[in-house]
Amino acid sequence: MKITREKILSHIAKTTYQPGKMKELAKTMGVTQADYREFRQLVKGLVREGALMRGRHSRYMQPSTIDQVVGRLKVHIRGFGLLARSGDSSDVFIQARDLGEAMDGDLVGVALTGASSRRGEPLGRVTEIVEQVQGEFLGTYRVRGRRHLVSPDEAGVNRDIFLDGKPSDGVKEGYKVVVRIVERDVGYDGLRGKIIEILGDPDDPKLDFLSLVRRFDLQVDFSDAVQQEAEQARIDLDLTRREDLRGLSCCTIDPDEAKDFDDAISIEKIENGHRVLGVHIADVSHFVQEGTELDKEAKDRATSVYLLDRVIHMLPARIAADICTLAPGEDRLAMSIFIEVDANGALVDYRICESVIHSAGRLTYGQVQSVFDGRLEDAGPAVDFTDDLALMRQLAQQRTKIRLERGALDFAIDQARVVVDEESRPIALGRYPRWESHRLIEEFMLLANECVADFAQRRQLPVLYRVHRPPSSVGLVELGGIVSSLRVELGPDDEVRPKDLQLFLRQIADRKDAPLINKLVLKAMSRAEYTSGNSGHFGLACSSYLHFTSPIRRYPDLWVHRVIKRFIAEEKGNGAIEVEGLLGLGRWTSARERRAEEAERIYIKTKQMRYMEQFVGEQFPGVVSGVLRGGFFVQVGDFMVDGFCLLRDLDDYFIMDEKRHRLVGRRSGRVFELGTPVNVVVADVDWAAREMDLVLVEDGESGKRGKGKGKSKSKSKSKSKGKSKSKSKKR
């Protein structure tokens, strides 16, 4: 009998089950000696997921039997913790005071208190550290009298790590280092460590990348075995199972700087007046077979990480930037979906096939936008696709209208743009333009993903869906109070419906502070995630959604391709689908996605702050982008970067109006709320902490101006926000 994770869980769930040790459990389940090693790995995996708990005397049981939840702890920068649970249950929220000695990454047992957080998550407290996190951490080397220590950059390590004796002569005060924890105990100096790598002077902007890699444990290079498999990959034009679409006029549309193109599009009018949109996605699964070294590496990385001046690919360059790139004038293997729509853009039918395509052009967003704007002299090769682009433009507009009519949310949020030079120094800040050509591609990829999700749902295929759950009604009601005279209407039983939130966004669309409110709404919403069970996508207002269109850079897409291809093959009598462990795969890929997003965010913020350092003492206009009891955030000028103004620098006493999320001066009556225009002076920039101190300019004069680029103000500000270095956390 083959032992699976489902069989283990089923066995332990029996009412007759008596908690036993690993070997006892194996014996009662009839695990053979040959299968014991695999069995151990399955059990350990279930413990890591929180589906099983190893209790006293190493006996395994269900967490629910001891009124405790077990899982990996994630600590937020503001000090609280989150514990992900198996299945569709909400994360457990743990207040900072209830974390005890637990650190980010620890496997912990958490007792549920029966109360809920403001966002509706169940509250818990850490009762046991089941497995202490071991490993290496990035930090800054410090000397405190005769003591040598490392202040961790990782927010989840909430104490300094003390060293035994003076480290090697190669390290200097303030250098970035990698430290390994060798001993954990309670108390101020309970963490003991050893420096294992010296990265160097953090003032070197090139070190930002290396520090990020070490902080998030990102794998940059590929092993020899993975590279060897990639180099052996060859394009096989097997037309016995593929449709030959090389005569079809299709093209790719990507940013100017893109190096890999994994999606191409085509469009045709057919006899009945309908149009057929073709979305052609690189067939990565042909080259990355399940169980190979390539596949194992791709699954471990789960996603590519896109930084400002480089990409950490999920797959080697031979795959990602060569044979799977739909380069113009080259035969390439693809998975194609043809989507028939009527004159109004409504879906009529679709079909999926394996194909061979030959892209006729590599277009950029700017070139396509030039066609839309009638500037054909700037359109480059897009001129040759003018007729097709006109049809595509019309269809994209129709699909946008259809999505919005069904209640899909359309956030108007500007994206920060940071330009860096060859030395990794930031040389310009701003925002990316938002063009119609961007929306065209987005609409077509959304439509393709919806159709494939429908295909998988109807046939009950074992895929990973992209699920977005409704947000907490509590958070959104509070959000409505921030915007004077507006509120988020709720459905029956306080249910949040997409159309209700959409109406709210429409009401604020013409306000100057609309982008800021959009960001707050997005923060109040739950995160989309990958799961084996389909419960719909709230933000897109659709019942089934998944990711199909980027298998070069996302493992869930690659997985979907495999399942679809196997199903097609099964219909032809070529085998069956046997897939297990989808729940764990969904959690893993969701966690890897969050890691990548956090790394990308921190890299951008670091470069932004490095750039702003040159403006200490200079004055800029700005708008209030958030308020706290101790002060308010300001988005400075057109830089798309925020700094913080301390209330104690102002000649008034300000009261926090919690209900309307604003600060009101007791003497002056002055109000600071979302969107309030202000003038500020850049007083201090601490790029290492990614913080900028601002001073409000009143009556043409600033309050207390910074005198240089020291970090004293940044530290005092952090304390006012409850984010001092010793207490900083990350999610």
Tens digits of residue pLDDT in 267-281: 999 999 999 999 999
Residue 379 has pLDDT above 90, yes or no: yes
Same domain (yes/no): 517, 419: no
- The neighbour count for residue 547, using CB atoms within 10 Å, is 24
* Alpha-carbon separation of residue 577 from 463, 561, 569 (angstroms): 11, 13, 10
* Structure confidence at residue 717 (pLDDT): 36
CATH of the domain at 116: 2.40.50.140
Q: Lowest-pLDDT range, 58-67, 133-142, 389-398?
A: 58-67
Section 645-649 average pLDDT: 91
Whole-angstrom distance, CA of residue 197 vs CA of residue 206: 17
Residue 36 has pLDDT above 50, yes or no: yes
Same domain (yes/no): 536, 521: no
Section 19-44 average pLDDT: 86
The answer to whether residue 162 is domain-embedded is yes
Domain boundary among 81, 109, 131: 131
Question: Ranked by mean pLDDT, which of 191-200, 298-307, 575-584 comes out on top?
Answer: 298-307
Confidence of residue 1 (pLDDT cuts 50, 70, 90): low
Domain boundary among 48, 63, 78: 63
Section 448-453 average pLDDT: 98
Same domain (yes/no): 637, 510: no
The answer to whether residue 214 is domain-embedded is no
Same domain (yes/no): 463, 510: no
Whole-angstrom distance, CA of residue 25 vs CA of residue 14: 13
Same domain (yes/no): 578, 495: no
Whole-angstrom distance, CA of residue 451 vs CA of residue 449: 5
Strand, coil or helix: 252: strand
The answer to whether residue 483 is domain-embedded is yes
Instruction: Give pLDDT tens digits for 673-723.
Output: 888 999 999 999 999 889 999 999 976 554 444 433 334 333 333 333 333
* Structure confidence at residue 485 (pLDDT): 47
Whole-angstrom distance, CA of residue 283 vs CA of residue 335: 5
Domain boundary among 603, 631, 649: 603
Same domain (yes/no): 124, 244: no
For residue 510, what are the domain limits?
Answer: 473-525
CATH of the domain at 154: 2.40.50.700
pLDDT higher at 20 or 459: 459
Q: Lowest-pLDDT range, 97-106, 432-441, 660-669?
A: 97-106
Instruction: Give pLDDT tens digits for 159-189.
Output: 899 998 778 778 999 999 999 888 888 777 8
Instruction: Give pLDDT tens digits for 410-437.
Output: 877 788 999 999 999 999 999 998 899 9
Whole-angstrom distance, CA of residue 179 vs CA of residue 424: 25
The answer to whether residue 409 is domain-embedded is yes
* Structure confidence at residue 137 (pLDDT): 85
Q: Lowest-pLDDT range, 97-106, 510-519, 601-610?
A: 510-519
Instruction: Give pLDDT tens digits for 235-266.
Output: 988 888 899 999 999 999 999 888 788 999 99
The answer to whether residue 108 is domain-embedded is yes
Paired residues of 357 in beta bridges: 332
The answer to whether residue 218 is domain-embedded is no
Same domain (yes/no): 563, 690: no
The answer to whether residue 611 is domain-embedded is no
Residue 155 has pLDDT above 70, yes or no: no
Confidence of residue 77 (pLDDT cuts 50, 70, 90): low
Whole-angstrom distance, CA of residue 548 vs CA of residue 451: 10
| Beta-strand runs (E) in 117-215 | 122-131, 136-144, 147-152, 161-163, 176-184, 191-200
* Structure confidence at residue 728 (pLDDT): 33
Strand, coil or helix: 677: strand
Instruction: Give pLDDT tens digits for 316-334.
Output: 999 999 999 999 999 999 9
- Taken as a whole, the chain contains a residue count of 731
Same domain (yes/no): 495, 446: no
Question: What one-character-per-residue DSSP string does 324-384 give?
Answer: TS--TTSEEEEEEEEEEE-TTS-EEEEEEEEEEEE--EEEEHHHHHHHHTT-GGG-GGGGG
For the chain, the helix, strand and coil percentages under 3-state DSSP, each to the nearest 5: 35, 30, 40
Cβ-based burial of 57 (10 A; exposed 0-12, middle 13-18, buried ≥19): exposed
Give pTM, 2 decimals: 0.81
Mean pLDDT of the chain: 85
Residue 554 has pLDDT above 90, yes or no: yes
Cβ-based burial of 356 (10 A; exposed 0-12, middle 13-18, buried ≥19): buried
Q: Domain total for the chain?
A: 6
**Do the Cβ atoms of 586 and 532 come closer than 8 Å?**
yes
Instruction: Give pLDDT tens digits for 495-512.
Output: 777 887 888 788 777 777
CATH of the domain at 24: 1.10.10.10
- 128-146 CB burial, b ≥16 within 10 A, e <16: bbbbebeebbbbbbeeeee
Same domain (yes/no): 640, 703: yes
* Alpha-carbon separation of residue 447 from 141, 193, 400, 554 (angstroms): 51, 52, 10, 18
Same domain (yes/no): 597, 450: yes
The answer to whether residue 291 is domain-embedded is yes
Same domain (yes/no): 189, 87: no
Rg for the chain (alpha carbons), in Å? 27
Whole-angstrom distance, CA of residue 76 vs CA of residue 728: 8
Whole-angstrom distance, CA of residue 79 vs CA of residue 54: 27
* Structure confidence at residue 65 (pLDDT): 52
Same domain (yes/no): 463, 316: yes
Token look-up 């449709």 returns: 243
